[in-house]
Chain A
Amino acid sequence: MTLYTRGYRRHEDGFQARTLRFGPIFVQGYREAVRSKAFRRLMSLFTVILIVHCMMYYFNPDQFVRRLSGVARPGGASSAETLRASVASLLGALRWLSPLLVLFVGSGLVADDLRARALPLYLVRPITPADYWLGKWLIPAAVLGVAVLLPLLVLLVFGVMLEPSDQVVAFAGEQGRVALAILAAYAACAVAYGSLVVLLSTVAGRRTPALVLGAAAIYGAPVIVSLALGASVIGRHGHPAAATTGLLDLVKTIWLPMDVASIFHAVSGAPIEPDDVAAMPDPWSAFGMLVLLFLLAAFVVIRRARTVEVVA
């Protein structure tokens, strides 16, 4: 088969009637992201964490004794409770580590295009600024699918598969709420971290500043929230758990991993960490914050692309 012909040849193979015009942007960006060293190294870490959680679930004293003897320990947690706790624990680790992964693979998404003055090359093709935004945003969202959603689902399936054969289906059916909470937590991660990294990549215009700003936003927010929480507790409330409403609730929403925890909590009915409850914003506040962040990122990227469109 001839791969190419020399000289100029007309393209006679037609064009695809593509409705998802952002598709090539997403696919190309995702390929580059998963081939990066940062992705491979951090995914290795995530895999180790997943294996540790699977082993912890497998060797959990309550479940291990039950599996060996066929009789539950008196006062021991049920399989469902243990599995939910394991899933929450894994999410507890991933909600902190996954932003790191997203920042490493996503800080250059728009910034590199800006540095290389590549935006005009996109925008003279039949795509719109909104297509550009969507294609770029889906890249960290898909990376988080591999880094967050997949390990959580693997752990859930692992827990289900450990049940006795005659109880697998029934047990799996009982895990619907946990599965839903996993999906909600993943969606929250994708919206929060994906939007943040694309937003900062656009605003900073360079990869390294975007990475530093993102790390500051993710890992610096706990300091601000803790100070605000502490001041509120000292000033007006007797117990941290009482500080759950008003302006403080809005301050809490800047702590994005806690927004993820709040949404997981609201759907699953159990917190990731009991100590988190006081620092978690109201689920609706968390939801509102994530929607706002998503819209802000979309606005900034599309506006930037439209500016390039105009002055290209």
Chain B
Amino acid sequence: MAVVAVSRLTKAYGKRPPSLIDVTLEIGEGVTGLLGPNGAGKSTLLMCVLGLMRDFHGDANVLGLDARRDRLEIRRRVGYMPESDSLLPNMTAVTSVRYLGQLTGMSRRHALRRAHECLHYVGLTEALYRPAEEFSTGMRQRLKLAQALVHDPDVLFLDEPVSGMDPQGREEFLALIRQLANDHGKHVVWSSHMLPDVQKVARQVLILDKGRLKGSFRLEDLHGATGRFDVEADGDATAFERAVVSRGFETVAAPVADDETGDTPALAEDGLPRFHRVVRVGGAEPTTALLAIGRDAGVRVRRVASVVENLEDVFHRLLDGRPAPDAGPASDAASGSDRLSESHADRRAPTPPRTDGPDGRLFP
């Protein structure tokens, strides 16, 4: 079931250019990252689905409820953690969480108990009765999460939830979100610029830019094969390239000089030159094919590793509007014409391409 479904949503503020243009998307269960630069339309999208804006074109549904007609019911079933440093003035942590619980329709007694539970859960046990205005940035973020959780919502909308937090606090926060999603069945929409954080917790990613949906994909697809392999071998690199071409494949990345890799000696133990090439290979048995190419070229293939993209690669590629030249499993999940295949590393040569690490090593 789609947690959030948006169809042809367009929203403009007055006579300014639209903040969202004909956006159609579905947000599934689990944690979803909503990524985009400033002004991309992330917050506007959240406001529309929360029913805080009603003068938009198109349809928006949350948990099957219409964002215009059922906005109060939606707000009872979702928790929202705003990006701004919002605090209820002149209140202790427990009072503010209890108060917001009451505003959601909980009785005072139940809201007070939930406030204690939620504040304990987010790690503010020692600060229950301290005025929230005295809190540090990290504590405020935790307090905002407790406020969003107090009424036990089905969906959490988190707008830049870890901004300003220290690394340890950030990791703890990510662990909390993972736990909420995995153990307690919460659906989380995480709006952020912080790509590494999103990559750590999200299952699905949506990328917005200039009011348009640039891409939508599952993160697990990023880790799938892209059809490209980083080959480390000893021997004649030119012969290897010729063998690649003769088999109908191609070398897609600029060669990386051996002495620039930093971790590979320029020469093998037996004196052969060591080189890297990124090769695009098709077929069901790419590793076998590469080993055969190595045999044909008379080089010793030491390592074959599948080149994977990380979120940052895809993010930048989609924002740059660069087309994907080839199709791998990840690209199947991309929406529209945006496909995920070309590595961000490709346009940053001579940086070594990202690989799946030691697991991809063929030989010790």
Contact of B75 among A3, A24, A125 (CB under 8 A): A125
Contact of A122 among B84, B103, B116, B151 (CB under 8 A): B103
Residues of B within 8 Å of A126, CB to CB, are: 72-73, 75-76, 103-105
Q: How far is the CA of A11 from the CA of B116 in the complex (A)?
A: 13
Residues of B within 8 Å of A11, CB to CB, are: 106, 110, 114, 151-152
Chain A binder among B87-95, B225-233, B309-317, B330-338: B87-95
Residues of A within 8 Å of B250, CB to CB, are: none
Please tell me if the beta carbons of B106 and A16 are within 8 angstroms of each other in the complex: yes
Contact of B104 among A112, A125, A128 (CB under 8 A): A125
B73 to chain A, nearest CB (A): 7
Contact of A24 among B87, B99, B179 (CB under 8 A): B99
Does more than half of chain B's interface fall in helix, strand or loop, or is it mixed?
helix
Please tell me if the beta carbons of A310 and B106 are within 8 angstroms of each other in the complex: no
Q: Does A5 contact B (CB under 8 A)?
A: yes
Please tell me if the beta carbons of A24 and B103 are within 8 angstroms of each other in the complex: yes
Q: Does B359 contact A (CB under 8 A)?
A: no
Contact of B82 among A32, A108, A120, A309 (CB under 8 A): A120
Report which residue of A6, A118, A312 has the largest number of chain B beta carbons within 10 angstroms of its beta carbon.
Answer: A312
Q: Does A25 contact B (CB under 8 A)?
A: yes
Please tell me if the beta carbons of B117 and A5 are within 8 angstroms of each other in the complex: yes
Q: How far is the CA of A7 from the CA of B119 in the complex (A)?
A: 10
A125 to chain B, nearest CB (A): 4
Residue of B nearest to A12 (CB): B152
Contact of A6 among B13, B82, B120, B183 (CB under 8 A): B120
Q: How far is the CA of A208 from the CA of B58 in the complex (A)?
A: 44
Residues of A within 8 Å of B43, CB to CB, are: 312
Size class of the B contact interface (CB-based, 8 Å): 35 or more
Q: How far is the CA of A16 from the CA of B76 in the complex (A)?
A: 11
Please tell me if the beta carbons of B104 and A9 are within 8 angstroms of each other in the complex: no
Please tell me if the beta carbons of B99 and A28 are within 8 angstroms of each other in the complex: yes
Q: Does B102 contact A (CB under 8 A)?
A: yes
Please tell me if the beta carbons of B121 and A120 are within 8 angstroms of each other in the complex: no
Q: Does B184 contact A (CB under 8 A)?
A: yes
Q: Does B52 contact A (CB under 8 A)?
A: yes
Q: How far is the CA of A21 from the CA of B76 in the complex (A)?
A: 12
Report which residue of B80, B89, B99, B147 has the largest number of chain A beta carbons within 10 angstroms of its beta carbon.
Answer: B89
Q: Does B195 contact A (CB under 8 A)?
A: no
Residues of A within 8 Å of B147, CB to CB, are: 121
Within 8 A of A (CB), among B43-79: 43, 47, 50, 52-53, 72-73, 75-76, 78
Q: Does A41 contact B (CB under 8 A)?
A: no
Q: How far is the CA of A8 from the CA of B116 in the complex (A)?
A: 11
Known: A16-B107, A24-B103, A124-B50. A9 touches B89 (CB 8 A): no
Residues of A within 8 Å of B117, CB to CB, are: 4-6, 8-9
Q: Does A127 contact B (CB under 8 A)?
A: yes
Q: Does B319 contact A (CB under 8 A)?
A: no
Known: A15-B105, A124-B75, A125-B75. A3 touches B113 (CB 8 A): yes
Residues of B within 8 Å of A28, CB to CB, are: 99, 102
Q: How far is the CA of A13 from the CA of B116 in the complex (A)?
A: 15
Residue of A nearest to B85 (CB): A117
Please tell me if the beta carbons of A121 and B82 are within 8 angstroms of each other in the complex: yes
Q: Does A115 contact B (CB under 8 A)?
A: yes
Cβ contacts A121-145/B at 8 Å (1 or 0 each): 1111111100000000000000000
Cβ contacts A13-46/B at 8 Å (1 or 0 each): 1011110010011001000100000000000000
Known: A10-B184, A11-B106. A4 touches B86 (CB 8 A): no
* Interface residues of B, Cβ cutoff 8 Å to A: 13, 43, 47, 50, 52-53, 72-73, 75-76, 78, 80, 82, 84-90, 99-100, 102-107, 110, 113-114, 116-117, 120-121, 133, 147, 149, 151-152, 179-180, 183-184
In the assembled complex, 8 residue pairs joining A and B whose CB atoms fall closer than 8 Å, in A order, are A5-B117, A11-B114, A32-B90, A113-B88, A113-B89, A116-B88, A121-B147, A125-B100
With A13-B107, A126-B72 given, name 9 new contacts (CB 8 A). Answer: A10-B184, A15-B104, A15-B106, A112-B90, A116-B87, A116-B133, A123-B52, A125-B100, A310-B53
* Interface residues of A, Cβ cutoff 8 Å to B: 3-11, 13, 15-18, 21, 24-25, 28, 32, 108, 112-113, 115-118, 120-128, 309-310, 312
Lowest 4 A-B CB distances belong to which pairs?
A: A11-B152, A15-B105, A4-B116, A24-B102
